[in-house]
Structure 1
Amino acid sequence: MLARSLVAALAGVVLSLAYEPVAVAYVMPFALAAYAVCTREVRSRAGFLVGLAFGVGFYFPHIHWMSPSIGLPAWLALASVEALFYGVLGALSPVIQRLRSWPAWLAAAWVAMETIRSTWPFSGMPWGRLGFGVVDTPLAPALAYVGVNGVSMLVALLGFLLARLLLSARGDERLFALAAVVLVAAVSVIPAVRPWTLDTTGTATVAAVQGNVPGRGDDVLYDVEQLTQNHVDATVALADRVAAGESPGPDFVVWPENSTARDPFEDAGINAGITRATQAIGVPVLVGAIVDADAGHILNQGIVWDPETGAGDRYAKRHPVAYGEYIPLRSVLPDSLVNSGQLARIPRDMLSGSRSTPLTIACVEVADSICFDVAYDDGIKTQVDHGAELLAVQTSNASFIFTDQIEQQFAITRARAIETGRYVVVAATNGVSGVIAPDGSVVERTQRRTQDVVVQTVDLKSGRTPGLAVGEVLRAGTPVVTVLGVLCGIIVGRRKPTTAVQPPPRIEDPDA
């Protein structure tokens, strides 16, 4: 038991190497194979502990960036909660592995685990999904065909088939398992031969402004006025370059999340700065703003600010970060906890947005995402379903600017570009901003802790990739499949034949 747990923990650490900063995605199937082997033929209670060891080995290193940025308690708490999901799957794994086709059943259970932990508890935590780790591999084009969830299933299936190969005792079983590994690997890379492409409906020239954060660069509240002024200055400077013929004129401009960290409708100075910037550039600016909702709540919004008519259409962040942007169960927590440490920086809770349609900016339908929103499936998909031609990500990673979170989120954004088949424009307060093509390649990107502006002409796309639909089916269907697999495993376990102990044959005494 101890040996299994140690091997599982080591396999979890190996899986963490598939993501930034190391980003060696090819270790994923081997780490998952070890997970399957270590959780095989044990009691469910032991499987839970082994799976938990794997989760600790994986998730603690994977989101270690939380410790220096948000704080040690937050890192320990979130990583511990996420590790529990791998423990629960570990408890189910021995039951599922009683089935003849267990690699497929267990792969479905893995995707179910990923999708559930990405939405629960509270808003969930989608970091660490297998589909986010393949952007620089031949498997990346499959994101457009089967989505992030589908690629997670392919990677998991490869890993569990490797385990089946390792565990096979007879020659015919090994041959079958090897053939299955080769077949799944071949099918997985077919999209690289024929990538999915969408129709181009036009082009747009877009500018992403990275104004930079005052001070050390890791606190957007350090100097709120100067933060906004930096983005105003960068936009006005762009307007001067456009007027001088040194830069193409954008159709619209994207500012990052928290480019105004104070309500621009209440702060006259910030409002005047935005107006100055939009009138200088002469096109709409998608402003990232913290807006007052009521006495106890705020909204994190992307606001289309027109140079003539002012503030217009808005998108509100769908997935505020628990204990980062709102405090769950605030009313039952002791005041001493709520009013101390990092939580004291959240005097008001952020409300969730529910917009399902894209923003119309300069006659372009733009699907907006604010920071962590890009890692969730729902917001992008519903906006693409309603005709989005381009994706925009407004992000403020200043709190994580000295950590690997920056590169992890940028990789997730690249995966979304491939999955949706659309260009993505990323605007960050102080890094990393850029433009990503539909094949996941980086057209242009900025450096951290700099003031910079990216201007690129991008294609506008229509239609939907099959990956969005497949991903949605897997999100809804894999939990049901998992329950069926567990029930079948229980039935198989109860029907397993047992060999009765026969009494030794009676030997007659010839002398009797």
Structure 2
Amino acid sequence: MPAGAGQPGVGTLARPQPPAAGPAQPGGRTALPWRTLLALTGGLVLVLAYPGYDLIALAVLGPAALALAVHRQRVRSGLWLGLVFGLGFFVPLLSWTGIYVGAFPWLALAVWEAVHLALLGGATALTSRLRFWPVWTAALWVADEALRGRFVLDGFPWGRLGFSQTDGPLLALAAYGGVPLVSFAVALVGALLAAAVLAVARARRAPRGTGEQDTGERSTALRAGALLVVGAVAVPLAGLLAWLPLAGPSLTAGGPTSTVAVIQGNVPRAGLDFNAQRRAVLDNHVQRTLELAAAVAAGEQEQPDVVIWPENSSDIDPYTNADAARQIDRAATAIGAPILVGAVVEGPGRFISNTAIVWDPADGPGDTYVKRHPVPLAEYVPARDFFRFFSDKVDLVRRDFAAGDEVGVLDVGGVRIGDLICFEVVYDGLVDDVVDAGAGMIVVQTNNATFGYTDESAQQLAMSRLRAVEFGRTVVVAATSGISAIVAPDGSIVESSELFTPDVFVREIAQRSSSTPAQRLGAVPEWLLTGAGVGALLAAAWPGLTRRRPGRTTG
């Protein structure tokens, strides 16, 4: 359990002091203006590490800025600074959510996500008085992301620190502890750098003189700063070593291979009405598949063992619409391989289902997977009357999608596919389930047409890249309008499409059965790191709680 006592800034909680009169001093509790600016800047800089900007090295500066801003502040100041940081981060990061529905849903979601970082700011401020506080700061980031990804409508873990690392040494850590370990590493490097800055600041404030004591204070602070920088550099160096036993960029190594074709048929238009011409979307995917069949017949492409269509490739229910079924049959017969079709299916009852259907050229529709995690306020609306009070846009969701209850592992032409639909790739447990159930490769069927030419598609692709490393599997992304991609087990992009452009990929892909430490450990690293953060929080809060007990003195 973290502990410490005696030294300012490293021991247990000190008694809060009243604000000093006059101008705020650096490090003082009344210096909120510059701290607020620092927190806001940190949030804005953190955005630059994500797709759209791809300056992944800047990710560590976000946690560093927040740690500096809240260091040795009261909890309520930490809450404010964390909220400012969160708004600076989430408002631009999630701007794609309001591209067609207006500012209110976008800003409401950004504020809600920022509230979680307000809690992180308060907790970080409290634990910043403990010895080894950079470690507890990083653990609290993991705890905060665990909370944000689970609670209130099953959470929304977009923008986790780990998802910024689509390249570089820290990405390798995903194979050992998943996204939580990568997030911890990013936050730890940032917190160590923040601690180094504070150490240098202490050295600069130390009395200048020739006395032995004066020289000792400065040299001790500078040595501490140097050690902290060494620690910050050691984390990515450990990541570089972690790459050595991991899978490389080859798609065909590690197991028997199958030929996989990915179809991006495109949509008539971007926006919420992308499927207003549902038959046109289906026809686009049929036509691209027929063209592939012609290329195979001409010897220009390999014969695929399986063809992947994206989410919403048939928003016409092929079980109830004979014409839609005939078109899919036509495509499957022409290509001579089963097609994984993304369809909207009637039922159960008053609901509809976001369903992946294995469509065999001989037998027609077979095994299915129903999306287990429909998106609240996009695919279903809980408490519709309540949310309608804030925005009538909820009524754009005319019928609620039902949630499936079976893991998405499908046998498609002898290929064991772990299927995830759209945002499901962001949830650790759903991805872990399909690999544990025997998936030899991961498929993400998605439709990003509702987000236009924004960074949403690239942000989602970044998650697939992390999943490839985490589980040592090739990840195939099939998008209705882009970005479709094939991601190698080392997270590198082998092939990718442009937005709103038809495209077809055909690749040999190994069906892997090996497991990574991250797969074997599951959620254990996340819970251990969360436990460390919560333990530090309790250790920091305990002295204050005991002082408030009735009958206890506070002398």
TM-score (norm 2): 0.85
1:104 matched residue in structure 2 = 135
Q: 2:298 aligns with which of 244, 265, 269?
A: 244
Quote the offset at 1:310 in angstroms. Answer: 1.4
Q: 1:453 aligns with which of 487, 495, 504?
A: 504
Equivalent-residue separation in structure 2 for 1:242 and 1:230 (angstroms) = 19
1:362 matched residue in structure 2 = 413
Alignment size in residue pairs: 495
Q: Kindly tell me: are residues 474 and 69 of structure 1, through their superposed partners in 2, closer, same or farther at Cα, counting changes over 3 Å? A: farther
Query: Letter of the aligned partner of 1:353 in structure 2?
Result: G
Equivalent-residue separation in structure 2 for 1:490 and 1:86 (angstroms) = 19
Q: Kindly tell me: are residues 36 and 469 of structure 1, through their superposed partners in 2, closer, same or farther at Cα, counting changes over 3 Å? A: farther
Query: Letter of the aligned partner of 1:103 in structure 2?
Result: P
Query: Letter of the aligned partner of 1:489 in structure 2?
Result: A
Q: 2:110 aligns with which of 58, 79, 82?
A: 79
Quote the offset at 1:194 in angstroms. Answer: 4.1
Query: Letter of the aligned partner of 2:276 in structure 1?
Result: Y
Equivalent-residue separation in structure 2 for 1:225 and 1:190 (angstroms) = 51
Question: Runs (4+) of structure 1 moved beyond 4 Å?
Answer: 196-199, 331-334, 492-496
- Partner SS state of residue 462, structure 1: coil
1:224 matched residue in structure 2 = 278
1:6 matched residue in structure 2 = 37
Equivalent-residue separation in structure 2 for 1:386 and 1:68 (angstroms) = 37
Is 1:145 aligned to 2:196, yes or no?
no
Contact preservation (8 Å) 2:313, 2:342: yes
Equivalent-residue separation in structure 1 for 2:57 and 2:227 (angstroms) = 23
Quote the offset at 1:216 in angstroms. Answer: 4.6
Q: 1:185 aligns with which of 228, 236, 242?
A: 236
Which range moved further: 75-84 or 378-387? 378-387
Contact preservation (8 Å) 1:96, 1:105: yes
Q: 1:118 aligns with which of 149, 152, 174?
A: 149
Which range moved further: 112-121 or 361-370? 112-121
Q: 2:446 aligns with which of 389, 395, 399?
A: 395
Quote the offset at 1:211 in angstroms. Answer: 0.9
In angstroms, what is the RMSD of aligned CA positions?
2.1
Q: Deviations along 1:119-141, whole A, 9 cap, x unmatched? A: 22213222111111111223222
Q: 1:347 aligns with which of 387, 398, 404?
A: 398
1:24-39 equivalence runs, <5 A = 24-39=55-70
Contact preservation (8 Å) 1:48, 1:90: yes
1:111-510 equivalence runs, <5 A = 111-168=142-199, 169=202, 170-196=221-247, 200-216=254-270, 219-330=273-384, 332-333=386-387, 340=392, 342-356=393-407, 358-470=409-521, 472-491=523-542
TM-score (norm 1): 0.92
Contact preservation (8 Å) 2:192, 2:232: yes
2:28 matched residue in structure 1 = none
Identity of aligned residues (%): 40
Contact preservation (8 Å) 1:219, 1:398: no
Query: Letter of the aligned partner of 2:451 in structure 1?
Result: F
Q: Deviations along 1:409-466, whole A, 9 cap, x unmatched? A: 1111111111111111111111111211111111111222122211111111112111
Equivalent-residue separation in structure 2 for 1:373 and 1:120 (angstroms) = 16
Query: Letter of the aligned partner of 1:268 in structure 2?
Result: A
Structure 2: unaligned runs, 5 residues or longer: 1-31, 203-220, 548-553
Equivalent-residue separation in structure 2 for 1:494 and 1:349 (angstroms) = 46
Equivalent-residue separation in structure 2 for 1:475 and 1:264 (angstroms) = 41
Equivalent-residue separation in structure 2 for 1:486 and 1:240 (angstroms) = 63
Which range moved further: 283-292 or 321-330? 321-330
Structure 1: unaligned runs, 5 residues or longer: 502-512
Contact preservation (8 Å) 1:228, 1:260: yes
Query: Letter of the aligned partner of 2:345 in structure 1?
Result: V
Q: Kindly tell me: are residues 333 and 414 of structure 1, through their superposed partners in 2, closer, same or farther at Cα, counting changes over 3 Å? A: closer
Query: Letter of the aligned partner of 2:36 in structure 1?
Result: S
- Partner SS state of residue 201, structure 1: coil
Q: Kindly tell me: are residues 243 and 133 of structure 1, through their superposed partners in 2, closer, same or farther at Cα, counting changes over 3 Å? A: same
Contact preservation (8 Å) 2:171, 2:239: no
